[in-house]
Structure formats: structure tokens, C-alpha cells
Structure 1
Amino acid sequence: MHGLGLRWPSLPTRWHRFSVRRTLLALVLPVMLAAVGIELALTWGTALQAANSAYDRSLLGAIKAIDSNVSTETGGLSVEMPYRLLEFFELTASGQVFFRVSTEDGLVEIGNAGLPLPGQPLKTGVPRFIDAEYFGAPVRVGAWARELDPERPGRRLVIQVAESTNSRNAFSRALLMQAMWRDLLTVSIVAGTLALVIGWALRPLDRLRREVEARADDDLSPVDETEVPADAAPLVRAINHHLARQRELIDGRRRFVDDASHQLRTPLATLATMVGYARRERDPALLTEALTALKGQIDDTVRRTNQMLALARADTAPVAMTPLALDRLADRCARESWPLAREQGIDLGFDHAGGDIIVLGHEGQLREALLNLLHNALRYTPRGGVVTLQVGVDRSHGDTAVIRVVDDGPGIPADERPRAGERFFRGSNVDLPGSGLGLAIVRAIVRRHFGEMEVAAARLDADGLERGTTVTLRLPLRVPTEIPSPLKAG
């Protein structure tokens, strides 16, 4: 229905407390009862039509019988009434019977005077039947006209027979009552069958409920959707999707605990050893040296802890996306990294093609990713080296925003690059201490922003050896709108 642009109206809120069986019956029964009402109205009309057709034939028979006893041989009009036939007709009609024989001009009239005639003139030889009142009682009147003397046309004879409508109304009411009881029985059978069928159709859901209730508290395995009706399968798939997200959250917390224990065990043991050494040292110079080393170890532990927290947030924390100018965010990150670059003796440059590059993202997480990239590049690039942060747009990849950090450090061996971004992975050609979480944080953040991370060599020297590292981040490009105020100032 949604494909046609139509939407079903939603049920009132209080109806959501009802069971499916009760809701369906509450919706279906009024429709069925309305259909029964329409059917009974049609049945009443059909019954009246059938009764009129049957009883009108009796009226016509009485008219023919009277006509066969009309005589004009004496020059006047005489009728020898078939009284036995009229008595029998009264018995079958269950009421009084009236008749009238007259000339069309009304000069000669025999029988019950004043029987109503049809509103339109009678056609010769064509009977007409009407519903009328005679002395305040409802009657059915049959009228028929013929030439009084076929040899001298122009003067017609009119014969009328009327009967009370009590018998035919009773007949119609009997048909209506039969139809009503039949329809009510049908509605009852359909409602009962519907209730049973709904209960039977919902048995898989009840079985699913029992299975879920019987699960262990830590069981987040997918629910089997093959045992439920096709209409309920999307709900089960949504539940499985939710369970998968919960598994990811729990796995993320478990990985964080494992990572924390793995990363902090050695630094904390080292800190404990260094504190013990400092407490035993009596030489002020050696004590100062020990405290300096202790401070460095504490700084490294704090950085590792912050990296693990950043990785946990990148994996599981909800992300509120807003439009932001990626080029201005990159410029700010480059400026924040300049003090470290000067301390390391490294030339840190920023290359921007010009123009605002608007993406949809979380400013805090993207800033964390850029700072991690720059910190890694500055940390592993030797003194006197060059690190360049580039920002632009790549039209060949479906209009994506591109961020590149290029350094001339030791690089990552080609056979190890596919593992770049894994937790705790560090290149085999690196001797400096580190946690191996920097690129893992970057990759997790980029994936949360529906982007991708690529790692390649920075250049190929004349001797055929690869030098340096280029880390490329690609993010979906947003159509430029108003730039958020925090980034307008650059």
C-alpha cells in the first residue's frame, strides 16, 4: 500500500491494549453486521417482489374468472359472480376481497364502488397492479380493461379485484425472518471460526514467546524466523537486528575491558616498580631522574587510557551528525599539532584546494581521528622529515571528501598494510613504544561516518623501495548548506 502512496489509518491508542483476536473481531463484526443489514434490506425488497408476483397472479386469475362471467347480450351489463372462486380467494388472501366491474365512463358499475384506479390510463388487454388504500386499509389492486363489444370498439370494460395486503406482508416477513436468522447464524459461525483461526495462526508467536522467556539472561542469539508467519517475519528480523546491536555493544564493552587489562597491566606494573625504586633512592639527582621517568610513564599510560576510551566511544557511542566544514576542522587540527611538530623538528604542512568542503559528521569524533593521524605521523617521522595534511574532493569516487596525511617515516610493509587499523597492530619495522590503537580509532570513527580508510606507501624511490605512509580517509560529501557557526571562523 505504501508503494501507491496510501497509508492505513492508525488505531486509537486504547486499542493497543487489546489482543489481536479481540481487535480483529471488533473491526470485522461491525462490517459483517452492516453487510447483514444491507442484505436484509435487499431480502425484504426481493421478498415483497416475490410475494407481489405470486399474489398478483391470483388477482389476475380472479379478474379472468369475473370477465368470463360478464354478459352484454341483453343490451346492458350483467355479471354472474363466481362466488365459490371469490370465497376460495378470500381464504388464500387471509382477508377481505373486493371487486368492481364498470364501464370506463363509470355509467355502469357493479361491485365495490370507489376502488382506486392506476394513475395512468389502462392499456387494453394489459393488467396493471398497484398498492393503494381502500377505506383506510392497505390493499393490492389489480385492474384490467377490454373492449365491451369487440364488434363495436370505442367503449371499454374495466374489471378490478383488490385484496388485503396482510397475507403477502406476512409472507414477506416470514422470508425476512428466515433470512435474518440464517445471516445471524452465518455471522456467528464466521466469528467463531475467525476467533479459532486467529488463535491457531498466533500459536507460532506464542511458542516464540515461550522460547524467548526460557532463554538464559546472556543468550542474545538470533530468533528463528522460519517458524513464524510471513507477516510476523519483519518483526522477528527487527528483533534480531536489535539483538545484534546489543551483542555488538556488549562485545564492545567486553573488548574494552580486555583491552584495558591488556594495555594497563604492563604500564601499571612498571609504575609500581619505578615508584618502589624512587622510594629507595637517596641520591637527589638519581631521584629526580626516576621521577622524570615516572612522569613519562604516567603520561604514556594516560594516553593509552584516553585512546581506549576514544576507541570505545567510536565503536558504541551514539553519534549525532551535523553539517560541518571539514577543511576548517582539518586546519584547526593542523594548528593544534604544530607545537608537537616543532618539538620533533618536523615540517608540518596543510594543503587545501580551496572552497568549503561540507560533510555530515560528528565534530568531536572527526577531530579525534585527525589528531590521531597527525600524532602517528609526527611520532614515527624522523627529525627533519615532512608531514603534510591534505584536504580536497575526489569526483572520481562519487563526490567524496578526502583527507590525506602523508609522511616520510619508515612506512608499513606492503604485506602488513591490510592489517592496518586492527587493534594493537604495529608494523614489524617500528621500534618506538606504542599501543597500536591510533589507526584502529581512526578506522572505527570513519566507519561510523559511512566512510573508508586506505593505507598506502607515500612514494616509490628510484631504487624501487617504498617510502613513507599515506593514510587516506574518504567521507560522503554533503550538498553545501549553511556552515555551522562553530566552524565559520576557521
Structure 2
Amino acid sequence: MRSPSLRRRLLTILVVPMALAWLGSGALIYVLALHYANINYDRSLVDGARALERMIRSESGREELSPQVRILMEYESAEPTYYVVRSLKHGVLASNIDLPAGIPLPVIDATPRLDSVDGIRRPLRVASLALHGDDSGDTIVVSVAETLAGRHALAREILVGTLPIVLLLIALVLVLVWVGVSRGLHLLDPLVEQLAQRRARDLSPLDQRGVPIEIRPLTRTIDALLARLRELLELQERFIADAAHQLRTPLAGLRLQAERALGDPRPESVRDALVHVERLSAGAGRAAGQLLALARAQAINESASGAARVDLAQLARTYIAERVPDALAAQIDLGYEGPAHGADVAGDPVMLREALVNLVDNALNHAGEQGSVTVSLTCELSTIALGVEDSGPGVAAEWWPRLGERFFRPPGSRRDGSGLGLAIVRRVADSHGAAVVFGRGRDGGGLRVTLRFAALAPDEPQPSRSSRV
């Protein structure tokens, strides 16, 4: 398949209007030529009528035209001249054609009158004038006529002679357009050279100097694409760095425990090493999952306004029910307070669930034995607040601004976490346009994390109720 060409496309676009312009100019030339031909032929008819009038005056007293006059009027040609000399009292005095009746009488001694009439075989153009006859009260009407063939023939000759010139001018214009477009496209050469000389990792904005104004939208689009690629590369590099940071310690621990088991083959020593291996591999798997979740949350740059409708109440209740066995095993009271359904927001249900998973995991890890974790949902005027609080030791207020940073652990916190849970929560909140608020629990202890989303109008109002699981 032949590659598209801007030159060919422009030429194709111009050919049709140019062809129409050529046809339109031909029609206009023909109309103008016929108009001026009519003017000149009408002037010739008027002159013929006046000449015939003078001849009649010179033959005063005679009822017929002299043979010399007839010879002059009936001179053989491709388009002969017709004439009629009529007396209102005596009838036709001389004629070589029968003009149709109904031609208005001209005013005596006035400018000759011009009329178009339908002859016996073809249309005629007639010039008529009136003069006083020899008899008292008589009026002589002199009419000279000719067909319209000569006029149309002259107009066609002008058209045939002019159209090739117009066509040549149009062809010249198309050639000039082709040359102009070709030269104009060379203005893109600096931009092409600038892109060709770039290194693979150079994703900085293009130099807009020297770029034509018409091409600026294209270069701005390229800059936006480069910016997105730069963000993706930064995310990739960050993911690699995070993975190396998180997996280095568990992998080193796994190797150490394997060497320990090989060095001491006693069953109790091997079993202890396997217990550590299981714990380290579980931690590595959990860290890998959180890294993937963080990478996905960071890759979401679109707001939640165009996403699906998600019922946070149903999402929270379903997930809390799944975590009840874990809470019971850890002797933690896990509960939900809020509406059963009807808390609709716009967003990605998978990522919203991921944020809730990390909030609940964080709360369960820090609530402590015989502690409590409460997931609450509050529907306000235009926002929906999703809160998760625990009864653990909490975090000092001075560290709240740093919560959500990657790998940040407040002083005194447990060291078996990855430091990515709240980072994932903050990234999900940012991608959904939600605010993250940190605070104390209801009794002044523990930590409460609240996500405030923009609420969607519910399909129908739902009654609020509180439940404890």
C-alpha cells in the first residue's frame, strides 16, 4: 500500500475546486461574451434600421424599395438580414420575411425599439423605428431583424479562445502550489533533525523556536507524549529501586537460613530454619504484592470522575466480612459502622479495595491483642468519609505529615511492615481526588485514617444503620 503523501493530498484537494473554478469561469466568460455580443449586434441592428430609414426617405414618393436598396438589404451571407417596411394605411411596402404580429409600435422619430420575437423557424432580434408617411396621417414602420445564431457563435468563439488560457493559468497555479508546499515542508526539517539527534533517554520538551505556528499543536502533543513517557520511566525506575530495597533483606535472610540448615542438619535446627524461611518468604510475597499495588496506583493519572460507580458501603461490608476470621484469630474486635449501601463514589473498584485492604491490614497489625478496629462510613452533604481506626499505640502528631511516604515507619513502630501500606492508600486517594486525613481515635488513642471522596447522587435514598461484626 502506497504511503500517504501530504503533497498529493493537498494537490488532490485543490484539483476539484480548480476544476469547478475552470468550469465556472467558462460559464461566466460565455455569459459575458454573449452579453457584449448582444450589445454590438443590437447596435448593428439599430444602424441597419436607420440606414433603411434614410434609404426610404431618399426614395420619397415611391411605394417600393429600389432594386439597389433590395440588393444591399438582401446581400447573401451565412446569416442574412431580414427587413419589413410597413405602412399603417397601405400595408407592407417591402419585405423579405413575415414578422409575427404583436410587435409593439415604436414612437415616431424616437430611438429605434429593440424586441426579441419568435420567428417562423428560430428566434429573432428586431430593431424597429417609425416615421411620418407621405400621406397625411400615415405612419411608416421600418423593422430590421436577424437571428441570434451569430451572437452565440461569437460568444462560443470567445469562450473557446479563452478557456485554454484559463486552464493554463490553473495548471500554473497548481504547479506553484506544489512547489510552495514542497518548500514549506522543508520548514519541518529542523524539527526532524532535532528528534533524530536525541538520545534514547532524552525526553525533555522540544525546542519550539523555529517551529511554524501551524505545527505547534503537533509539537505540543509530542511534548505531552514525552512527558507521559518520562513519568512511566520514572515509575519503572522507582519500582525497580523499591523492589531492590524491599526484597534484598528477605532474600539475604532466606540464604542465611538455607546455609544454617545445611550447616546443622539436626531436625530441630532444620525445622527452626524452615520456620524462618516461611516467615521471610511470606514477607517477601507481601512486599512484592504491595510493590505491584503501589506501581499500579502511581500509574493511575486520570481522575475518578469518568470511572465506574462504586458503592463504598457494599465494598467495605463485603471486605470486613472476609477479614472477620483473621480478626478473631488475632483476638481483635473488627467492626463496621455506616450505611448498608448507597454510598456511591466514582472510581476504580479494584484500587479502592486495595486502599481499604492496606488500611485494615495496617490497623490489625497495630491494634494489638484484645484490641479493636473500626471501619466507619459517613455520608455528608457532598462528601463520603471512609475511616479506619485502631486502638493501638497510635502515631505522634508530629509524624502525621510524613505518613504515606514510601518506606517511612514512625519511630517505635513494628519493624515487620514494608512501609508501603499508607503510601498505596495516599496514591489511590490522589488518583481519585480524595483527601487523606490522619487523627486520633475516638478515645484519644490509636490512629484514625479518613479518606474523603466526592459523593455521587444516589439512585434512591438508603437508611443509615450501624452494625458490629
Tell me if TM exceeds 0.5.
yes
Q: How far did residue 350 of structure 1 move? A: 0.7
Match of 2:436 in 1: 454
Q: Identify which of 135, 142, 152 aligns with 2:127.
A: 142
Q: How far did residue 309 of structure 1 move? A: 1.9
Moved more, 419-428 or 185-194: 185-194
Match of 1:270 in 2: 253
For residues 28-67 of structure 1, the aligned pairs below 5 Å read: 28-67=14-53
For residues 205-244 of structure 1, the aligned pairs below 5 Å read: 205-225=188-208, 227-244=210-227
Q: How far did residue 437 of structure 1 move? A: 0.6
8 Å CA contact 1:21, 1:195 repeated in 2: yes
From the superposition, tell whether residues 201 and 473 of structure 1 become closer, same or farther in structure 2 (CA, over 3 Å): farther
From the superposition, tell whether residues 166 and 364 of structure 1 become closer, same or farther in structure 2 (CA, over 3 Å): closer
8 Å CA contact 2:314, 2:341 repeated in 1: no
Letter in 2 for 1:353: P
Measured against aligned partners, the alpha-carbon deviations of 1:393-442 in whole angstroms (never above 9, x if no partner) come to 232xxx23321112233333434323322211221342433211111122
Q: Percent identity?
A: 33
From the superposition, tell whether residues 260 and 274 of structure 1 become closer, same or farther in structure 2 (CA, over 3 Å): same
TM-score normalised by L of structure 1: 0.80
CA distance in 2, matches of 1:189, 1:378: 83
From the superposition, tell whether residues 454 and 324 of structure 1 become closer, same or farther in structure 2 (CA, over 3 Å): closer
For residues 249-268 of structure 1, the aligned pairs below 5 Å read: 249-268=232-251
For the aligned residues, what is the CA RMSD? 3.7
- Whether 1:329 aligns to 2:329 is no
Moved more, 326-335 or 210-219: 210-219
From the superposition, tell whether residues 426 and 343 of structure 1 become closer, same or farther in structure 2 (CA, over 3 Å): same
Match of 1:130 in 2: 116
Letter in 2 for 1:272: R
Match of 1:107 in 2: 91
Measured against aligned partners, the alpha-carbon deviations of 1:148-176 in whole angstroms (never above 9, x if no partner) come to 35x843x4322122456565445323432
Match of 1:469 in 2: 447
8 Å CA contact 2:435, 2:453 repeated in 1: no
Letter in 2 for 1:332: T
From the superposition, tell whether residues 121 and 139 of structure 1 become closer, same or farther in structure 2 (CA, over 3 Å): closer
Gaps of 5+ in 2: 461-469
CA distance in 1, matches of 2:75, 2:65: 19
Letter in 1 for 2:173: V
Aligned-partner SS, 2:440 = strand
- Whether 1:441 aligns to 2:424 is yes
CA distance in 2, matches of 1:338, 1:414: 30
Match of 1:391 in 2: 377
CA distance in 1, matches of 2:188, 2:10: 17
Q: How far did residue 351 of structure 1 move? A: 0.7
CA distance in 1, matches of 2:185, 2:102: 64
8 Å CA contact 1:122, 1:128 repeated in 2: no
TM-score normalised by L of structure 2: 0.83
Letter in 2 for 1:440: A
Match of 2:11 in 1: 25
8 Å CA contact 1:70, 1:79 repeated in 2: yes
8 Å CA contact 1:256, 1:312 repeated in 2: yes
Moved more, 245-254 or 317-326: 317-326
CA distance in 1, matches of 2:62, 2:54: 16
Match of 1:375 in 2: 361
Q: How far did residue 370 of structure 1 move? A: 0.7
8 Å CA contact 1:406, 1:468 repeated in 2: yes
From the superposition, tell whether residues 412 and 196 of structure 1 become closer, same or farther in structure 2 (CA, over 3 Å): farther
How many residue pairs get aligned? The number is 455
Aligned-partner SS, 1:70 = helix
Match of 2:465 in 1: none
Match of 2:467 in 1: none
8 Å CA contact 1:455, 1:469 repeated in 2: no
Q: How far did residue 228 of structure 1 move? A: 3.8
Letter in 1 for 2:169: T
8 Å CA contact 2:389, 2:441 repeated in 1: no
